[in-house]
Amino acid sequence: MIKPIGSDTLKPLFVYDEIKHHELQKEAESLPSLLLNSAAAANAVMLGGGYFTPLNGYMNVADAISVAEKMQLTSGQFWPVPIFNRTHDISAIKDAKRIALLDPNEEGNPVIAIQDIEAIEEITDEQIDQICQKVYRTLDNEHPGVATFKSHGKYVISGPIQVLNFSYFQTDFPDTFRTAVEIRNEIQERGWKKVVAFQTRNPMHRAHEELCRMAHNALGTDGILIHMLLGKLKPGDIPAPVRDAAIRKMVEIYFPPNTVMIAGYGFDMLYAGPREAVLHATFRQNCGCDYFIIGRDHAGVGDYYGSFDAQKIFDTEVPKGALDIEIFRADHTAYSKKLKKVVMMRDVPDHTKEDFIILSGTKVRGMLANGEAPPPEFSRPEVAKILMEYYQNEVAK
């Protein structure tokens, strides 16, 4: 199986030893505590599950800037985006060497991790802008990722962590949330030798379904990991339980047995386009996947990124030899009325726009909200039914 990033073995930071886990929970009761923001809590979940191997905790300012500028820590280790614990208020922890980190997303704010503090630094507005410009390619506060990143506070708390739970993801999504450790184990149990991963924060329409099938066939893989984001999204995005139900229904009906693994991960969406595509490839390698599908406007939002910038970055910015996972580069996909199947547009140069069924997201949402199913060439009827129920409930609120 493909090796993790920068390591021969996965390095999950979750404390699996029961005795040690209990001792840390007890110790946390007497430690100074810090209530995390949602992004820092999601980073803890990803560190805990081994997704962020080989990192051992939160970055300091120098490492974050180095990562933003050249996708490398100051040590030279490859990593594509800063992994921060930032806050507005350090009054309760400023003299501490070890602190309990509290989960903002669970009732009662339970301890999610314990951190050894290596440094508490102030990050300047100029440094925040420098990171934003490199990671998000914009300083526009209308960009949801930029707005969130700028809101996290000026104090950076760096140092290694020990993770004690996976927040709400295990309880809210028991059938879907999986750590990188669990995904690697399941790939082995299924007997898969080659795996292609598909990232989604949306329900999957026919084009997404066929794209997975195309990659699976073209690459000769044994299985497909459909890997959905379960964390925080921007307003208007479809919530995870609805996406989960729609994807499971599609796989159940339209894919052969033991060709698809459905899993989810506990991270908040960055909407960082090309840089987030590299992060997605990074932790899919940590999951044990050999290939990763990147299509049009991967992890994008609005018009901030070019349609295929998320593919180009692997050629122009990712340090040579940093990744072993290979990218499957997808083109625009749509249903061909001529060929009566979903195709990549680059593969049918004889087609005109009229030969495709292309619906905008706005039009599809309007149809679903009105109880009108999109054409079966665009969306499987079983998937459309789940989405119609959701949109009609939203309209009725």
Active site residues: 201-202
Separation between Cα atoms, residue 158 and residue 63, nearest integer Å = 10
Axis-axis angle for helices 309-316, 274-286 (nearest 10)? 70
H/E segment holding residue 334 = strand 333-336
The gap from C-alpha 379 to its chain's centroid, in whole angstroms, comes to: 24
CA atoms within 13 A on the CB side of 15: 19
Q: Do 300 and 276 contact (CB within 8 A), yes or no?
A: no
| Tokens of residue 34, six digits | 């810090």
List the one residue out of 241, 310, 247 whose CA is nearest residue 273: 310
| Tokens of residue 62, six digits | 């120098």
Separation between Cα atoms, residue 46 and residue 68, nearest integer Å = 19
114 - beta bridge partners?
100, 162
Separation between Cα atoms, residue 67 and residue 43, nearest integer Å = 16
Place of tokens 């992004």: 39
| Tokens of residue 37, six digits | 């923001």
Separation between Cα atoms, residue 343 and residue 362, nearest integer Å = 22
Place of tokens 């960055």: 270
Separation between Cα atoms, residue 212 and residue 208, nearest integer Å = 6
Please state, as a whole number, how many other Cβ atoms lie within 10 Å of the Cβ of residue 109. 15
Residues whose CB is less than 8 angstroms from the CB of residue 369 and which lie 6 or more positions away in sequence, other chains included: 391, 392, 394, 395
Q: Do 226 and 200 contact (CB within 8 A), yes or no?
A: yes
